[in-house]
């Protein structure tokens, strides 16, 4: 949960990957369901999404976090987020099965 003024709202998590392999996308889909079940608002991007697009969606959706596959380029996503002025957005590589 995050505070916006006097209102508490759920964490907003963008979930996607540059990978298009079914196993990577399925692992992130499981992570998306777990996040949703834990009360987060999930913005699902799926596979085949590049870092600049993920960063743009994170900014547009006022996300708190972007969850990606470990094979994705974390540094490229961090750089894209920083360039978009979203330094506060957390980047998390989600391990399969976690």
Distance CA 54, CA 56 (A): 5
Query: Please, which residues bridge with residue 46 across strands?
Result: 16
Answer whether residue 96 shows pLDDT above 90: no
* pLDDT tens by residue, 44-85: 999 999 999 999 999 999 999 999 999 999 999 999 999 999
pLDDT tier at 6, thresholds 50, 70, 90: low
Report the interhelical angle of 51-60 vs 74-83 (nearest 10°): 40
């Amino acid at each position: 949960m995050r505070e916006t003024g006097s209102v508490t709202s759920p964490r907003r998590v963008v979930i996607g990957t540059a990978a298009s392999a079914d196993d990577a996308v399925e692992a992130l889909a499981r992570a998306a369901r777990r996040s949703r079940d834990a009360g987060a608002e999930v913005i699902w991007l799926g596979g085949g999404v590049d870092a600049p697009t993920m960063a743009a969606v994170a900014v547009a959706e006022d996300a708190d976090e972007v969850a990606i596959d470990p094979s994705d380029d974390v540094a490229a996503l961090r750089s894209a987020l920083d360039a978009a002025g979203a330094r506060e957005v957390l980047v998390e590589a989600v391990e399969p099965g976690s």
